[in-house]
Amino acid sequence: MEQLLPMVIEEYNVFKQFIRELYKQTPLQEYTKSLDIFDTAVLVSIISIIGLWAIRNLNFPNKDYNQSFFGYLKAQIFLFFVNYCPGVNSYIEKQKQNALQSFSDSMEKMTTKKTLKLPENGIDTDTIMDKLNEWVERDIKHYGSGKVSGSLYVMPDKQFIKNAQDFCKNFLYSNPLHPDLWPATRQMEAEVIRMTGDLFGQEKESIGIVTTGGTESILLGMLAYRNWGEQYKGITNPNIVIPETAHAAFYRAGEYFKIQVRIAKVNQTTFQVDVNDLRRQIDSNTVCIVGSLPNFGYGIFDPIEQLAQIAKKKKIGLHIDACLGGFTAIFAKDHGVDLGKFDFTLDGVTSISCDQHKHGLAPKGVSTVLFKTKQLRESAFFSIATWSGGAYAAPSMQGSKCGVGVAGAWFTMQSIGKKKYIEYSKKIMDATQLLAKQLSEIPEIQVCGNPQINCVAFISKQSWLNVYAVHEILTHQGWTISSVQKPAGIHISITQQNVSNLKQYVHDIKAAIEKIKANPQEYKKGGEMGTLYGTTQKIPDSKLAGQALKVYLDSLLKI
Ligand SMILES: *Cc1c(COP(=O)(O)O)cnc(C)c1O
């Protein structure tokens, strides 16, 4: 109880600050200059009435976002302004247009001669091949630069890449939806599941689905729990409890499949999920909980064994998101590192997502979701026996699909083999731990938690150091790294491409910090990233902030 009052006061101060900010940005300021006491009293009454109306009539609390009371109120007042004040509305529209323009400008810089219409007559192959060379040259510029976080995971080995391309190109026209016509792709798919399941402790038989990527693997996993919950437990209003650091795909599953997403806090020292907060949020409608191995943002893996105990006790699912870490972590024991149990040998784990197209080193477009039981996997399958077009069944989200993804995974797993994967895993894990150590020796920053697998993040320890400014400076030096936001930090996902260049990374970070130290005022706003996050975080309604972000997608899809 004694903690409550300071919390309320703090919330109130944040709220007040927000109203001030909002007020400053609207034309209201002009009007209110001329108000006298009477006008002010009327205004205050009106606002109070609106506030009371909002509390009574709006759906409180906004369950999906775990908002505090004032957070919710702030969002509602903001939405009221947006919806009913023409000034605010047009202000936001203008901001959106500005953002669209600036995104479009940066896309434009990367665009060459445009095609807007289907050519009247087909273009001859030589001309198209010239274009191919141009396309490819532009797209592979960063291959081998060693300055990219994640994104491209394969070894910088031209011959290996060529072999994979040669193998895969034969399956461009295949369609595993028709196994009778493409028996080889069907077999490769089943073998990819078998090999992957075997790695994760499915000894006798593997139960999984091959997908196009981690996102689809997670979507199918969550869909399975929703359907399973409904069929076997009668849950019609399902929820999942995920760490705040879990991948965006879980939030997307919530949106797509109408599953309520409950967010468990993350410990700000260890960056692991707060197990007590997670347990507290489980109720009779919870179908599954989630742990990351590791999470994308901070590279930390959650206390999986504790989560497994909870899942077992509550008789609900536990999904392990090993999309990023799977192919690194699973080989840790083989090179003498004990990460504890996290696969199907641990009682309580009921599904695992794992990407071949990340540290599995395969070409893009392939991942696997594994299930503990066939009953659970079946809950993710789609089938309709009575469709007018004939009996229809497909395991994943796609109907017709291309066999290239599965061929790429099959080729890569066969070609690399266990010994090499162990070697790669050791190289990546050693480099990760060394990088964390070296970064932790820089006094101005703090490494997030204890990163052990393949991703390291840091935050600023100094008030004068906006960490996004480091990002800005590194970007100008040719680095493509990611910024994270809760808390503000920078991460690098270590790959076979950049693993040998991390000394340079540490050096460049130190130099960037020195540069900022010499002139902190200039870097206060943190460059482009600082502005982006600054703006989206100022919008109190997270859905509206998300909508603002969608203008980025507009610019992507525009020519
Ligand atoms: C990359 C990633 C995903 C999603 O995978 P995509 O292949 O990008 O769809 C999910 N979880 C984690 C932890 C990831 O790093």
Span from the CA of 148 to the centroid of ligand 1 (angstroms): 16
CA-CA distances (angstroms) from residue 225 to 173, 306, 354? 33, 20, 17
Span from the CA of 150 to the centroid of ligand 1 (angstroms): 10
- Would you state the structure tokens that stand for residue 206, as one six-digit string? 């593997």
Span from the CA of 44 to the centroid of ligand 1 (angstroms): 48
- From 247, 295, 364, 453, mutation site for ligand 1 pocket: most ligand atoms within 8 A of C-beta: 247
Does the pTM exceed 0.85? yes
- Would you state the structure tokens that stand for residue 260, as one six-digit string? 């309520």
Ligand 1 pocket member 354 (CB < 6 A): no
Ligand 1 pocket member 295 (CB < 6 A): yes
Give the pLDDT confidence of 230-239 residue by residue, as tens digits: 999 999 999 9
Helix (H, G, I), strand (E, B) or coil at 464: coil
d(CA 532, CA 555): 16
Instruction: Using alpha carbons, select from 302, 327, 293 the residue that is nearest to residue 495.
Output: 327
Per-residue pLDDT of the chain (559 residues; tens, 9 = 90+): 455 566 667 766 777 777 777 777 766 667 667 777 777 888 888 888 888 777 666 544 444 455 667 777 778 787 787 778 777 778 778 878 887 888 888 888 888 889 999 999 999 999 999 999 999 998 888 888 999 999 999 999 999 999 999 999 999 999 999 999 999 999 999 999 999 999 999 999 999 999 999 999 999 999 999 999 999 999 999 999 999 999 999 999 999 999 999 999 999 999 999 999 999 999 999 999 999 999 999 999 999 999 999 999 999 999 999 999 999 999 999 999 999 999 999 999 999 999 999 999 999 999 999 999 999 999 999 999 999 999 999 999 999 999 999 999 999 999 999 999 999 999 999 999 999 999 999 999 999 999 999 999 999 999 999 999 999 999 999 999 999 999 999 999 999 999 999 999 999 999 999 999 999 999 988 887 787 777 777 777 777 778 778 888 888 898 8
d(CA 173, CA 19): 57
Span from the CA of 324 to the centroid of ligand 1 (angstroms): 6
Burial code (b: 16+ CB inside 10 Å, e: under 16) for 108-138 equals: eeeeeeeeeeeeeeeeeeeeeeeeeeeeeee
Give the pLDDT confidence of 56-72 residue by residue, as tens digits: 665 444 444 556 677 77
Instruction: Using alpha carbons, select from 358, 343, 377 the residue that is nearest to residue 208.
Output: 377
CA-CA distances (angstroms) from residue 494 to 19, 151, 428, 481? 42, 10, 7, 10
- From 215, 366, 453, mutation site for ligand 1 pocket: most ligand atoms within 8 A of C-beta: 215
Ligand 1 pocket member 214 (CB < 6 A): yes
Cβ within 8 Å of residue 254, ≥6 positions away:
64, 222, 240, 260, 261
Query: In degrees rounded to 5, what are phi and psi of residue 489?
Result: -160, 180
Instruction: Confirm or reject CATH 3.40.640.10 for domain 168-415, answering yes or no.
Output: yes
